[in-house]
A and B are shown apart, each in its own frame.
Chain A
Amino acid sequence: EPEVTQTPSHQVTQMGQEVILRCVPISNHLYFYWYRQILGQKVEFLVSFYNNEISEKSEIFDDQFSVERPDGSNFTLKIRSTKLEDSAMYFCASSFLDSNQPQHFGDGTRLSIL
């Protein structure tokens, strides 16, 4: 069964550095998403992306975050100047349509900011 893959599984970065988290969504899916889960807290929606542009974003997704689909297979989340509070699990997801369709998740990237 096709799956969403995320790399790396664990990223350790110094505070203030830029980090790029990578995802390969399921190949025929059209909608892509990023979520994060801070340790001990709920999974939080960050952003959705369709047709090479952001379609929805949450209040968490501020100017330090950006997303990109640099080629036909990858979907990336960039955090420009990382802060300690950015430490979390970051999940990528994809779906074929935007509504009434389940999103399929990757196993996440654990981001640790030192």
Chain B
Amino acid sequence: DQQVKQNSPSLSVQEGRISILNCDYTNSMFDYFLWYKKYPAEGPTFLISISSIKDKNEDGRFTVFLNKSAKHLSLHIVPSQPGDSAVYFCAASARNDMRFGAGTRLTVKP
């Protein structure tokens, strides 16, 4: 199942800089997109979402961008903090069938 792809398994950034995590999807029926953050031994924690009728949603340091024509979304974290270090999952849903990407491990170095 490759409907949601995160092509970068890992990303390392310096504290204070911008982190950009990318995600691509193939199913045009997806109408709701989410980012989850996951720490070891915990379940995914909801971070931010965007509906397909928007192209940007901002919540504090986190901004999600959606490019429907390219079937691409990204998560920007500005400024990045060491506590942001985790695995980030992109997810896309059509009604109540949600599919996840493989995740990107973000490391923010002090």
Interface residues of A (CB under 8 A from B): 4, 6, 31, 33, 35, 41-45, 48, 50, 55-56, 58-59, 91, 93, 95, 98-100, 102-108
Say whether B96 contacts A99, CB under 8 Å: yes
Contact check, B97 vs A45: say whether CB atoms are below 8 A apart.
yes
Q: Which residues of A contact B96 (CB under 8 A)?
A: 31, 33, 48, 50, 55-56, 95, 98-99
Q: Chain B residues near A103 (CB, 8 Å)?
A: 34, 46, 98
Q: A104 to B94: give the CA distance in the assembly, Å.
A: 17
**Contact (Cβ within 8 A) B43 A106:** yes
| B45 interface hit (Cβ, 8 Å) | yes
Selected contact of B100 from candidates A42, A98, A106, CB within 8 Å: A42
A100 touches which of B32, B44, B101 (Cβ 8 Å): B32
Known interface pairs A35-B100, A100-B32, A105-B36; 4 further A-B residue pairs with C-beta atoms within 8 A, sorted by A's residue number: A31-B96, A42-B100, A50-B96, A99-B94
CB pair B95–A99 under 8 Å, yes or no, is: yes
Q: When the two chains form their complex, are residues A48 and B97 in contact, meaning their CB atoms are under 8 A apart?
A: yes
